[in-house]
Structure 1
Amino acid sequence: MIFTLYNSIFIMAIVLVIVTNSVQAGPIEGRGLSSCYKHARLTFYWIPKEGDKDMTNDGSSVVLNGPKTETLEGDNGKSIAKVSETTYEKFQMEGTGLLKSGVMVNLGSSKDTFIKVNRKTDPYGLGSDSNPLEPWVSVASNDLKRGTRLYVKQLDGVKLPDGKVHNGCVRVDDQGWSFGSCQLDFFTLQFSAYKILQKKIPSKVTVTQKNCKILNYVTSEVKAWAVLKK
């Protein structure tokens, strides 16, 4: 009887440990913003353009050209275009891409399919719910609901490539298939903008949820890029 009682207590203790670990491994949002984003990792994403200078997923410099061996397959199974392997990998990683033809594509129903983007209505690509992205406002997060406003302390006061100064306020407009939790992916529109901003903003940032004011950082030059860049 005593042996059985001890066994029961031991088994209950194991179950308690398993349950506790399961709770700790649950969604970050359920555990509170501060526990995840007190020192969040900040990364960047942009719209790569076929034929332009960019970088590979491991950080090496590359030009997005070469033999067109890969197919950008649409959700309907039909081919949108043929591109080089490096171009395909960048379009897939960043979620959006601009072809030399002027066609913009976005990831479709999976990371292996694409859709064409209407550049008149959505000139900067689409987020995870087919919502429009905004340069220097949109961030991707896998922990927080879309539409959540966040204040990034280290972003406040940073001068952007278009000359405007950021107020630190961003909005969750997207998710990332290639990263996990406690990370924010900041949408910088162009690779050239990333090259500038990654020197100004640290990789570890402090983030708080705040009903801050979203500003418009799109200048006439940025609008011209979205309309005319081919």
Structure 2
Amino acid sequence: MKQSFSLACSTAMACIAACLLLTTLHAAPLDKRSIPSCYKSSVRLTYYWIPKEGDKDMNNKGKSITLSGSKTKKLKDKNSKEISKVSKTTYNKFQMEGTGLLKSGIMVNLGSGGKNVFMKVDRKKTPYGLGSNSKALTPWASVASNDIKLGTTLYIKDLDGVSLPNGKKHNGCVRVDDRSWSMGGCQIDFFVLQFSAYQQLNRKISSKVKVVEKSCKVQDYVNSNVKKWAVLT
């Protein structure tokens, strides 16, 4: 009798637990888009930008450089056709970042043929550069992440209210438009367009930030000064 009663109780309890589980699942569907749990705590925030011929920048050791000098290096496409001549310093920086902007307004990206092959970027479609899957990068709105789905919008509280170099205020909303070969997971790489913008924002924003997946509106921070720097006017 004790065994039968125990079995009956166990069966009844199992049924109740199953019903409660089903009720919970129907009441609160699982979020299939949830980002990795590491983002619930602070993660590293880094920056990337487009090196521009003639501008100040820094090399991979953090040393200050100017992208100028004797034009001894040729930027070539996959057919070995010359795109432009640049200084060795400029060439090396374009290689390191995988992209670059010439004074003429031509923007180049590394092509598919190796580190010495470049391609012209269609600036009518992607005026501020190419992200992953040919996504157009948006200054101060695009980020790179290696473990969050492309197109996901995120809210970073540390960005909310920050004054950008062009005078506009950030609303904290960014979108994953890119991947990065130079980092792992649990990290956000913020596209800030210019080296000078990196210098300003790096002093204002913490190197560790909290990131929340959120349906938010990505703002357009481009103004006439930005277009002028980008040789779009």
Q: Does 1:49 align with 2:91?
A: no
Deviations 1:34-90 (A, max 9, x none): 225622111111111112211111111001123445443323444433333321232
Maintained 8 Å contact 1:37/1:182: no
Q: Which AA in structure 1 matches 2:218?
A: I
Contact 2:103 2:231 in 1 (8 A): no
Residue number in structure 2 paired with 1:14 = none
Could you say what secondary structure the match of 2:197 adopts?
helix
State the partner residue of 1:212. Answer: 216
Match of 2:41 among 29, 32, 38: 38
2:186 is matched with which residue? 182
Number of corresponding residues: 201
Structure 1 pair 127–111 and aligned structure 2 pair: CA distance change class (3 A) = farther
Moved more, 42-51 or 77-86: 77-86
* Structure 1 residue 155 corresponds to structure 2 residue 155: no
> What residue ranges of structure 1 are gaps of 5+ in the alignment?
1-28
Contact 1:140 1:172 in 2 (8 A): yes
| TM-score (normalised: structure 2) | 0.77
Summarize deviations over 1:5-40 as a string: whole Å, max 9, x none.
xxxxxxxxxxxxxxxxxxxxxxxx999522256221
- Of the two, which has the highest radius of gyration? 2
Deviates more, 1:153-162 or 1:62-71: 62-71
Structure 2 distance, partners of 1:110, 1:198, is 34
In structure 2, the CA distance between the partners of 1:145 and 1:87, relative to structure 1 (3 Å rule), is: same
Contact kept in structure 2, 1:92 and 1:111, CA below 8 Å: no
Q: Displacement of 1:189 after TM fit?
A: 0.9
Shift of 1:162: 1.2
Normalised TM-score (structure 1)? 0.78
SS of residue in 2 equivalent to 1:189: coil
Structure 2 residue corresponding to 1:194, chosen from 180, 194, 198: 198
1:74 to 77, 93, 114: 77
Taking only aligned residues, the RMSD between alpha carbons, in angstroms, comes to 2.4
Structure 1 stretch displaced more, 74-83 or 61-70: 74-83
Q: Counterpart of 2:190 in structure 1: which amino acid?
A: F
2:21: which partner in 1?
Answer: none
One-letter code of the match for 2:205? Answer: I
- In the TM superposition, residue 206 of structure 1 has moved relative to its aligned partner by 0.8
Map of 1:119 onto structure 2: 123
Residue 106 of structure 2 corresponds to 103
Percent of aligned positions that are identical? 64
| 171-180 or 63-72: bigger deviation | 63-72
Aligned to 1:63: 66
In the alignment, the residues of structure 2 paired with residue 41 and residue 120 of structure 1 have an alpha-carbon distance, to the nearest angstrom, of 33
